[in-house]
Amino acid sequence: MSLLVIGSVAFDALETPFGKTDKILGGAGMFIALAASNFVKPINLVSVVGGDFLQSDIAMMQEHGVNTEGLQIKENEKSFFWKGRYFNDMNSRETLVTELNVLGDFDPIIPESYQDCSYLMLGNLAPQVQKQVIERLKNRPKLVVMDTMNFWMNIALDDLMQTIALVDVLSINDEEARQLAGDYSLRKAAKKIMAMGPKFLIIKKGEHGALLFHEEQVFFAPALPLEEVFDPTGAGDTFAGGFIGYLAKTDDYSFENMKRAVIHGSALASFCVEKFGPERIINLTETEVQERVQQFVNLASFEI
């Protein structure tokens, strides 16, 4: 089924204990689109870049089935840029540079050909921009999934609450869930957050897996214990892309199928961290994805 993705397409510069990069391809929208492309095509992307963006990166995304009709190119401006450094445990990082550039006044224009999408993934962006996308669609998609982060809780909580009220699935990490709900218990926090609007809540816990909540049900998806986490950048976005891509492919958003989608998202994310930026998820085969999903089955299965 048709999938619309909005999110940043940008440059990242990264420092990890394993090395550093100059400006490489980054952005939530890019990670989401490439991850989703393992399951469904085309991915209709809405985003914005500057004149400094590489035509080769656009071509690469197109080769992966990403429709870039909705990718605005502002020739006289610069692309969004983030530079960060990860500490030894890879669970904490510091931001060294953030240049909003074209994202500062991003007006998300939806091409006519993108209307009537069935699945909408709102990648991490200013919540009022995410809301605009919902409002600009003539028909509400079957399922709206939203990713966000604590940054917006700190500076745009009212906007964030308005947008959260409009979506079906919210995806945030554990600390963000605690902050948003004002409750340390994730079980209690989940109840409070679902009362804000979303019928489903995904709480991402990084190396500790992810929780999926719906009404009184809860599902715990493990994370694959990896020999090495090389670069965690984009892992959460890749998770979201695998999740929405699997749902769009199967066109089934029952709780049972959402569990499968969480596992597929987790599998994609486990690839993402193996190399810098999107390098690993650009070069994935269907067999590799299936084998990785099977590793999750082996990891989590038991019979009582």
Choose which of 205, 275, 279, 288 interacts with its own copies (CB under 8 A).
Answer: 205
Q: Does 303 bind its own copies (CB under 8 A)?
A: yes
220 near its own copies, rule: CB under 8 A: yes
| 87 vs 165 by CB, closer to its own copies | 87
20 binds its own copies (CB under 8 A): no
Between 109 and 300, CB nearer to its own copies: 300
Burial class from Cβ neighbours inside 10 Å (0-12, 13-18, 19+) for residue 97 reads: exposed
Counting Cα atoms < 13 Å in the Cβ hemisphere of 295 gives 16
Near its own copies by CB under 8 A, which window of 53-61, 68-76, 77-85, 206-214? 206-214
**Is 218 an interacting residue with respect to its own copies (CB under 8 A)?**
yes
d(CA 157, CA 17): 34
What whole-number distance in Å separates Cα of residue 188 and Cα of residue 167?
A: 20
Residue with Cβ nearer its own copies (74 or 260): 260
Mapped onto helix, strand or coil, the DSSP state of residue 223 is: coil
Contact 61/30 with Cβ under 8 angstroms? yes
Task: Find the helix or strand (DSSP H, E) in which 277 lies.
Answer: none
Contacts 24+ apart (CB under 8 A), 74-78: 74/48, 74/49, 74/50, 74/102, 75/50, 75/51, 76/50, 76/51, 77/50, 77/51, 77/101, 77/102, 78/50, 78/51, 78/52, 78/102
Q: Indicate which single residue of 19, 59, 165, 184 sits in contact with its own copies (rule: CB under 8 A).
A: 184
Q: Which is nearer to its own copies, 151 or 220 (CB)?
A: 220
Q: Based on the shown chain and the rule CB under 8 A, indicate whether residue 85 belongs to the binding site for its own copies.
A: no
Work out which of 54, 109, 165, 226 binds its own copies, going by CB under 8 A: 226
- Indicate whether 19 belongs to the interface with its own copies (CB under 8 A): no
Q: Phi, psi (5° rounding) for residue 119?
A: -125, 130
Nearest to 79 by CA among 94, 56, 98, 107: 98
**What part of residues 259-278 is at the interface with its own copies (CB under 8 A)?**
259-260, 263
- Least spacing, CB of residue 199 vs its own copies, in Å: 18
Residues 6+ apart with CB under 8 A from 240: 28, 32, 35, 121, 123, 145, 147, 171, 265
182 touches its own copies by CB under 8 A: no
The verdict on 229 binding its own copies (CB under 8 A) reads: yes
Q: Which is nearer to its own copies, 38 or 68 (CB)?
A: 38
Binding-site size, its own copies (CB under 8 A) = 39
Least separation in angstroms between CB 125 and its own copies: 29
Q: Which chain residues interact with its own copies by CB under 8 A? A: 88-90, 184-188, 190, 205, 208-209, 211, 217-223, 225-229, 256, 259-260, 263, 293-294, 297-304
